[in-house]
Amino acid sequence: MELKGKVCIVTGGASGIGHAVANLFVRQGAAVVVADVNRDGALAAAQKLGASALGVGCDVSSAADVAGMVAQALAAFGRVDVLVNNAGFGMTGNVVTTPEEQWDRLMAVNVKGMFLCAKHVVPVMKAQGGGSIINTTSYTVTSAIADRTAYVASKGAITALTKAMAMDHARDGIRVNAVAPGTVDSPYIERILSVAPDPASRRAEFNARAVMNRMGQPDEIAEAFLFLASDRSRFATGSIVTVDGGSSIGNHLVA
């Protein structure tokens, strides 16, 4: 029961890594706010997790939505000990082929969303005497992949944001770290495979990104979040924990 008595907000919690994190945190004794732009998905996920979970619809790029999410967390559980800034998405394209409006939307969710969530949670944690914020970045920050310019740029910003926040709020007792996953076998990947001309070949390409020659599983990534959320990582702040099957040391010619 690593997280017994802790209250955690997990954005992007209805599916993929976020859902695995919410599930693991509940099993470890936490009360969890499952927040997602897919409100029905958030409610369904929370219902499955039981009485210690609350589902909330939230577009993290909206300050009003984020403020409402934090208010609901406080009304339900009285505090916020852990913020998992996980909501985000990716898309294909380089600087020429990426439409400006899609670039803006991705940055609004992936980067501004983390800024807004932290903006509303940090004062709560400061008043409590501390907390842990964990951002989801990516191995692509150190080893870019082709045709994902906006996504890679957003993850670079998140990594820098993590270190800046860690510096700014250490004296408030707030630790800020990030997890950098590799490619994870998730609903997002399944959607890509569902429209691929050759799904088996496309899956093999995703697997080949890692030197282990496979994609990660959401549960494997969730364990890193648990470490950073728990008191076991009490001396860690500004850290980037990479869990990528060796993708960041491999050869990334695959888009």
Q: Which two tokens stand for residue 157?
A: 């910003």
For this structure, is 139 an active site residue? no
Q: pLDDT digit string (tens) for 169-212?
A: 999 999 999 999 999 999 889 999 999 999 999 999 999 999 99
What is the dihedral sign for C-alpha 65, 68, 74, 76? Answer: negative
- Kind of pairing between the strands at 53-57 and 131-136: unpaired
**CATH assignment of 7-181+217-236, among 3.30.70.990, 3.40.50.720, 3.60.20.10, 3.90.1150.10:** 3.40.50.720
What ranges in the chain are assigned the alpha helix state H?
16-27, 39-49, 63-77, 100-107, 113-128, 149-169, 187-194, 199-207, 218-229
Q: Does 101 or 142 have the greater pLDDT score?
A: 101
Please give the pLDDT value at position 249. Answer: 87
Query: Of 35, 31, 22, 24, nearest to 4 (Cα)?
Result: 31
Where are the domains positioned within the chain? 7-181+217-236, 185-215
Average of pLDDT values for 242-253?
A: 81
The pTM assigned to this predicted structure is 0.95
Looking up tokens 């409100």 gives 39
Q: Determine the Cα–Cα distance for residues 255 and 252; give it in Å rounded to an integer.
A: 8
Active-site entry in 115, 139, 151, 206? 151
Q: pLDDT digit string (tens) for 137-174?
A: 999 999 889 999 999 999 999 999 999 999 999 999 99
Tell me which amino acid residue 25 is.
Answer: F
Q: pLDDT digit string (tens) for 11-46?
A: 999 999 999 999 999 999 999 999 999 999 999 999
Q: pLDDT digit string (tens) for 107-133?
A: 999 999 999 999 999 999 999 999 999
The pLDDT-based confidence of 251 (bands split at 50, 70, 90) is low
**Is the pLDDT confidence value at 219 over 80?**
yes
42-46, 164-168, 233-237, 244-248 — which is least confidently predicted?
Answer: 244-248
Query: Of 148, 147, 118, nearest to 131 (Cα)?
Result: 118
The pLDDT-based confidence of 255 (bands split at 50, 70, 90) is very low
Please give the pLDDT value at position 144. Answer: 87
Q: Determine the Cα–Cα distance for residues 108 and 87; give it in Å rounded to an integer.
A: 11
